[in-house]
Structure 1
Amino acid sequence: MTPRTQQNTAPAARPQGSHHWVMTLELPGRAMSTFSGTWTPPAGTTRHDVFTGIQADIARQNPDMARGNVVFFSLEPNQL
């Protein structure tokens, strides 16, 4: 029996960052939103640097969430 080969006809995936992150912010009694993405932090970057950078980027893109409480944050290597 010979192994089957599959062809992938999907378009090429866009490059992704080295880490995957998820952050949920809440404006008590008003709104809750979850954001996610990938990022390759520069050498020497700390987890805290990434946290505050992501939080600031979300605030720039979503001004209403600038004062949101962080309910959840995850940062992990983006590989299986």
Structure 2
Amino acid sequence: MTTQNTQTTTPAPDRAEQGSHHWVITLDLPGRAAATQYGTLTPVPGATRYDTFLHIRQYVVEGYPELANATVVFFALEANQL
């Protein structure tokens, strides 16, 4: 079994450079591979949560093509502000 645990984030030394939202996603191919990534982004005006989910999933799959058919086991998208 090959397991991948990766973490990718948008470089943001300054809060002003971070996106308006923070996301975390985990994709899994049971017994073969898994990847967790996170970052920040600012959705385009009019984008829905679903649009943003598809965008993020595609971003992860571009980096890990073997996860194209993986199951999403976790997804979170929250405002990047406390």
TM-score by length of 1: 0.81
CA distance in 1, matches of 2:80, 2:32: 32
Question: Does 2:34 align with 1:32?
Answer: yes
- Which sections of structure 2, spanning at least 5 residues, go unmatched? 1-11
- After superposition, give the CA deviation of every residue in 1:24-72 in whole Å (9 maximum; x if it has no partner): 0000111221110000001110000000011111111111111110000
**What RMSD over aligned residues (CA atoms) do the two structures have, in Å?**
1.3
- Which sections of structure 1, spanning at least 5 residues, go unmatched? 1-11
Larger of the two Rg values belongs to structure: 1
Letter in 1 for 2:68: A
CA distance in 2, matches of 1:68, 1:35: 14
Equivalenced residues, count: 69
Aligned to 2:55: 53
Identical amino acids, percent of aligned pairs: 54
CA distance in 2, matches of 1:76, 1:33: 20
TM-score by length of 2: 0.79
Give structure 1 regions of 4+ aligned residues with deviation exceeding 4 angstroms: none
